[in-house]
Amino acid sequence: MPVFDLSVTPLRELNQALHAVLPGSNDTDFEVVNPRGSHSVAVGVDAPVKIDIKGSVGYYCAGMNEQANITVYGSAGPGVAENMMSGTVVIKGDASQYAGATGRGGLLVIEGNASSRCGISMKGIDIVVKGNIGHMSAFMAQSGNLVVLGDAGDALGDSLYEARLFVRGTVKSCGADCIEKEMRPEHIEILGALLAKAGVTDIQPQEFKRYGSARTLYTFNIDNADAY
């Protein structure tokens, strides 16, 4: 297993090695030690590799991830898994603002809390937060699923489109055009599968409420001008 110690090895060297992985390579497991809050760790990976980061990271860790399974044994700064395409990213601690922003696919699991704007403009990513999320989360979320086992802050789902939001705790307030919606059998099935993928086995999907778009802001209407 290649091990990169970022206290002595330049970050560029780590990312270059991850980008150089070719199909059929024997190097499929990587370990990163002493990240010490470094920014842009394991960005742009496009290979079915496993990356364990032993410590906390700065902004944009695992950005644009495709195929890789990345685990951060600590907390993550702003923009973790930003524009993620596929694969899995697990944060064992907390995540700062706009986690999973613009993500198009894959699974992001945050085992602690997520700050403001979690999942903004998400475009197909699945995000499971085992703690709470901050204000303006899922702002303009277009598709995908945001699952929150704890509470949600102000303006949840402001101006969202067709993303599904599942919250087990309380929602401080919904944003413009976001409303509570019925939990139908297909949503129970979707949520149950996501909880299982995230390793949540002691909570049932029936404990959650679903939020989504009221669909009143899809096209401009002068009667809704104050909501835009």
Q: Determine the pLDDT at residue 1.
A: 86
Exposed e or buried b per residue across 70-107, where buried means at least 16 C-beta atoms within 10 angstroms of its C-beta: bbbbbbbbbbbbbbbbbbbbbbbbbbbbbbbbbbbbbb
CATH number, domain of 177, equals: 2.160.20.60
Q: Determine the pLDDT at residue 188.
A: 97
Amino acid at site 114: A
Mean pLDDT by 10 residues, the chain (228 residues): 95 96 87 97 96 98 97 98 98 98 98 98 98 98 98 97 97 96 97 97 96 83 63
Q: Are strands 164-167 and 209-213 parallel, antiparallel or unpaired?
A: antiparallel
Token digits of residue 140: 């303009």
Residue 138 is part of which domain span? 3-227
Domain count, the chain: 1
What tens digit of pLDDT does each residue of 30-48 get?
Answer: 999 999 999 999 999 999 9
Place of tokens 């401009």: 220
DSSP category for residue 224: G
Q: Determine the pLDDT at residue 227.
A: 59
Whole-angstrom distance, CA of residue 137 vs CA of residue 96: 12
Instruction: 168-176: list long-range contacts, CB under 8 Å, 24+ apart.
Output: 168/203, 168/207, 168/208, 168/209, 169/132, 171/209, 171/211, 172/135, 174/211, 175/136, 175/139, 176/217, 176/227, 176/228
Q: Determine the pLDDT at residue 8.
A: 97
Place of tokens 């139908």: 184
Amino acid at site 15: N
Whole-angstrom distance, CA of residue 95 vs CA of residue 194: 19
Strand partners, 50: 29, 69
